[in-house]
Structure 1
Amino acid sequence: MREDSQENGADRYSSPAAGSGSTGNVRATKEDWLKLALETLICDGVDGVRILTLGQKLGISRSSFYWYFKSRQDLLDQLLQYWRERNTRGILAQSLLPATSVTQGVLNVFECWYDEDLFNPRLDFAVRAWANGSSEVRKVVDLADGERVEAIYAMFLRCGCPQSDALIRARILYFTQIGYYALEIVESIENRLAHLPAYLRIHAGKDPLDGEVEAFVARALRRVDTRQAL
């Protein structure tokens, strides 16, 4: 029997506070289930996201699960929707920020690559691995990629880039970074920032204005230091 099939009545609809065995009365919220499912997706892949396994890790009966989700597929659908909104929202928001130059517009997008509050690369990698085995997930990933590229393309247009070049620059900027994640390239933030002027010349076709690189580097290092201190 599939794991996400209906449980027997007594277990399926009991209170989420009603644990079993040694767990006692332990309540797990929907956020608890989602957080653990996300962590499991990132660390173990989609095959590791199982109701029974998650319940054991939470130390509760899996009956709690059915108060918040219809099935395992419902949970997976919500994880996918969370990924799409979370990792796409940051890129769209950064692309829309005011920019007085095309290099500033590119730098706004670059902030997504060091700030995990804007873009979570491990989650993105996990969902792309998931898509390799699911045509439905692949459709969602392709749609999200299209939305992200479109937002960066619009940024280049607003910054005065010719229409014939704007889409290609947007695709190169976005897919180059996704390629870094897919290849699992390990590079220190200091080394990456040292090459920032060259990255800007390649992606924007222009040298940065005075002070743009310095301001970006300061923000990036400050953000990295803050995360390391947590």
Structure 2
Amino acid sequence: MSDGIDAVKIMGLAKRLNLSRTGFYWFFADLKELHIAMIERWENQNTGTLVQRCNRPASNICEALFNLMDCWLDPSLFDARLDLAIRNWARVDDELQIRVNDADRIRIDTVAQMFQRHGFAPDQAQVRSLTVIYTQIGYISMQADKTRSDRLARVPRYVEIFSGSVPAQRDVEAFLARHTEA
């Protein structure tokens, strides 16, 4: 993720994992199989989890947006570094770019459906969805270095802007409780 796809070499990976070159082949038949596994992990974790979070039960759009915002704050739900790495790789791989475009379409459609379930007209839901997704992609692409507390403090305002409604204090508190470090 830090050095780009061209840095993904069997010998380098084997060395980093304290394996012999042949030891690598116990896990993957070749470099292409590793690449496929990386892409599938990204699709399952990032797009799959985003879809799951958007489909969680929510009593209002703010609660639904907080469910989605969990992705941006919990790397076990959504791996932002992997998302950026895949997007950068797709710039030089046309087949992967198609998969990235498909994932973006799924993400945008899923967020739009979430808005529609909470009473937004299809055209409004679509634009709000684009705003949510483009904001997050921009945040990831810019590699914004905000502290966790800064990010947490801004989320209720993002939810307000994205939804057009001030979130209920109970929804804000429930969200913050999920992200308070023990």
Work out which of the residue numbers 161, 164, 169 in structure 2 matches 1:205. Answer: 164
Shift of 1:209: 2.1
% identical aligned pairs = 34
C-alpha distance in 1 between matches for 2:174 and 2:14: 46
8 A contact 2:46–2:78 mirrored in 1: yes
> Per the alignment, in what secondary structure is the counterpart of residue 43 of structure 1?
coil
Kindly name which structure, 1 or 2, has the bigger radius of gyration based on alpha carbons: 1
Q: What is the root-mean-square deviation in Å for CA atoms of aligned residues?
A: 1.5
Report how far residue 201 of structure 1 moved.
Answer: 2.1
For residues 16-95 of structure 1, what are the structure 2 equivalents within 5 Å?
42-95=1-54
What is aligned with 1:132? 91
| TM-score calculated relative to the size of structure 2 | 0.92
Q: How many residues align?
A: 182
Alpha-carbon distance change, 59 to 199 in structure 1, aligned in 2, over 3 angstroms: closer
Q: 1:143 aligns with which of 94, 102, 106?
A: 102
Alignment of structure 1 residues 101-180 onto 2, 5 Å: 101-180=60-139
- Residues 182-201 of structure 1: pairs in structure 2 closer than 5 A: 182-201=141-160
Cα offset, 1:148, TM superposition: 1.1
1:11-65 alpha-carbon deviations (Å, 9 max, x no partner) = xxxxxxxxxxxxxxxxxxxxxxxxxxxxxxx122111111122222333332233
The structure with higher relative contact order (CA 8 Å, sep 6+) is 2
Structure 1 gap ranges (5+): 1-41
Which deviates more, 211-220 or 149-158?
211-220
| Gap runs ≥5 in structure 2 | none
Kept in 1, the 8 Å contact 2:69–2:155? The answer is no
CA 1:116–1:60: 2 relative to 1, 3 Å = closer
Partners of 2:134 and 2:26 in 1: how far apart? Answer: 40
| TM-score between the two structures when normalised by the length of structure 1 | 0.74
Work out the CA distance in 1 between the residues paired with 2:41 and 2:139.
23
Q: Deviations for 1:97-129, whole angstroms, at most 9, x for unmatched residues? A: 111111111111011010111101111111111
